[in-house]
Structure 1
Amino acid sequence: MASSKATVALATAAAVGGACAFVAPSAKTVSATPALRGQVRSTQASGLSPNAAAAVALSSAAVLVSQARKAGSKTSALKAFEQELGVQPPVGYWDPAGLARDGDVEAFQRRRSVELKHGRIAMLATMGYITPEIAGKFPGYLSPSAGLKFADVPNGLAAISKVPAGGWTQILLYMGWCEVSRGPGSDIASGRPGDFGWYVLSSADPEQKKKKLSAELANGRLAMMAIIGMFYQDGLTGSAWGDWSNFTDSPLRAFEQELGVQPPVGYWDPAGLARDGDVEAFQRRRSVELKHGRIAMLATMGYITPEIAGKFPGYLSPSAGLKFADVPNGLAAISKVPAGGWTQILLYMGWCEVSRGPGSDIASGRPGDFGWYVLSSADPEQKKKKLSAELANGRLAMMACSTRMVSLAPPGATGPTTPTPH
């Protein structure tokens, strides 16, 4: 018996000692020791043999070691780059995509090198947009053989088609030379991303050097955002700071005076569904939007009204013995409505669709007009105001109804979910 106890003690000590040997001492490691002891006690009390108890202790130690290693590696991965350049207030270290969560230093330096290159190109491109507008262009010829003057090259994206093939060749050759002049990836291999041996922001003072290189990163990030904005504005209006009124060819202008274009958003089409300017497709989407909005308004009122005004008296289905009061509010009602009720609902929906001919509202150029008027008016301005209100209320109801259906839990609840008092 004494020998068996000694074996258990030795195994437990070995497990704990092994865990401490391979994991740096920490609060987690210290608190794990009583857990191991408790595990041994519980296995002994459960009737396991001492050898089995020792095996359990060893396996528990292995699990704890593995967990501690994982926790340590995650912490190290997060902290590995917190002192790098580019970690600046107020954001600090920001990696929303989790690209550096694996703690791979080489991969981080490669991304930093790419970021610096993109930032430098973006700074040059941004100045390339601004400088000709402020300081003017060079005199003389860009390509004497082609008779192309600097003044003939437009600013921005339009210049792409004017630069001769020889110019593009020089640009690409220079870019390639910058990449391979000191060996491909030499800046990453040396642990100094972006260092190609050509210094402008350097300094003998380490603090000043760090400050300047941090400024380069920050300015490069700003320039990348700026140049994308300039490209977009240039592509729309023909100028990096062109006014929207200059964009006369926009297919979006076809819909700027339509119903539903309301302040403060104005014409809003984030998915670009109407960028092709197809009027029929726009009217079909508007018709669908109106139908959904109307159904959502009815559904929203269907949720609210029984809670406030109560339900109809009597029977919904006398043959099935189903009273109105027996039908729960919300999604739970789906299982209570008899088949005849669903048939009536579907037939009415179909009648609304085809009573004046399928797609008649779109064909007439009046989406949502099925000949049944509630919001109409003889005054065109009042009519426009009322129809705009219908669209706005329908959009609000679609959001409200979707939220209401999601929040109605558990299924079968008859009203807003409320906490149960304890």
Structure 2
Amino acid sequence: MRGKELNNGRMAMIAALGIVAADIFTGKDGMQQLGLGATRERTSRVALRATAEKVEVFQPAKQMGATAPLGFFDPVGFTKEGDESGFRNLRAAEIKHGRVAMMAAVGAVAQHYIQFPGFEGVPADLAAVTTAPGSYGFAALFILSGVAELAIWKQDDKKEPGNFGDPLGLGQYNEDMRGKELNNGRMAMIAALGIVAADIFTGKDGMQQLGLGATRERTSRVALRATADKVEVFQPAKQMGATAPLGFFDPVGFAKEGDESGFRNLRAAEIKHGRVAMMAAVGAVAQHYIQFPGFEGVPADLAAVTTAPGSYGFAALFILSGVAELAIWKQDDKKEPGNFGDPLIACRSQRSNGRNQPDDL
């Protein structure tokens, strides 16, 4: 069953990714993509065009953000002429990711030296997210960010994307500053991605990567190898998951010989993503017909995440999932990755014991 779960999870990750990509480019939910019993119709968010009275066609390339010498940059063609609504959504996402990336890039360097009281033992790299109390702080920040985005700083369709006023009264929100924010955000997204990738492959935090004043040393989680007494070297290719006809599949080379700890982390992540993807792939099709009471007006596609009350349900599910992962189903290093027991058997066993031995209650 563990082998079947791995294989089904891998297939589900591919399926879920395909459903999401097709939804974005075709505007059809999971059921409509299959062409079976589709009853809802909507227009693709990417391909939406003005079809009413002829008016001046919206031109994405003429909007703010086209910067010399590159000009307007959209090699994949996400933005379409006439699709002002789609452009606004993409621009809002770009600004949001840029703002987060600017804070992340600065934080990745600053946290090498600066730590809040009580967090002295938390690593200064990506491991901070999975090391208590850093994991609790991350969960708290995520919840606060969700509340701010869903309840406080909500986008006003009458204002340009990213405009939430000037709470500090700096008086600098003008066209020039908006252009600078876009460019700095784009650079920060590249920088943050580079810092994360380098952390994974080198084991160095943001400050150590710069080679300036680095005082902490640790071993890469990916490149970690046994360097003590000579023992039998751990072989990832011999572990469960190597399935004919492909055999052991790791084209990028994440798993290393001798790095059992790194392999366990990767395998736990694979199982976790596989389980989520299996539920997501089924849900993407089933939600075309099945909706909970009170959610009748929520779309049956990706827009459900951003359409109230679907957005509130998504936030609640995310919080419950975080609680389950961080406090209930925690990985035991003495067990294989993904092994959290068999709770359904345990429940039946407890009920059986309760019936047979009532005096023990």
Fold-level match, TM-score > 0.5?
no
Higher helix share: 1
Q: Which is bigger in relative contact order (C-alpha 8 A, separation at least 6)?
A: 2
- TM tier, smaller: 0.3 to 0.5
Compute the TM-score of the two structures, normalised by the length of structure 1.
0.36
Q: Which has the larger radius of gyration?
A: 1
Compute the TM-score of the two structures, normalised by the length of structure 2.
0.41
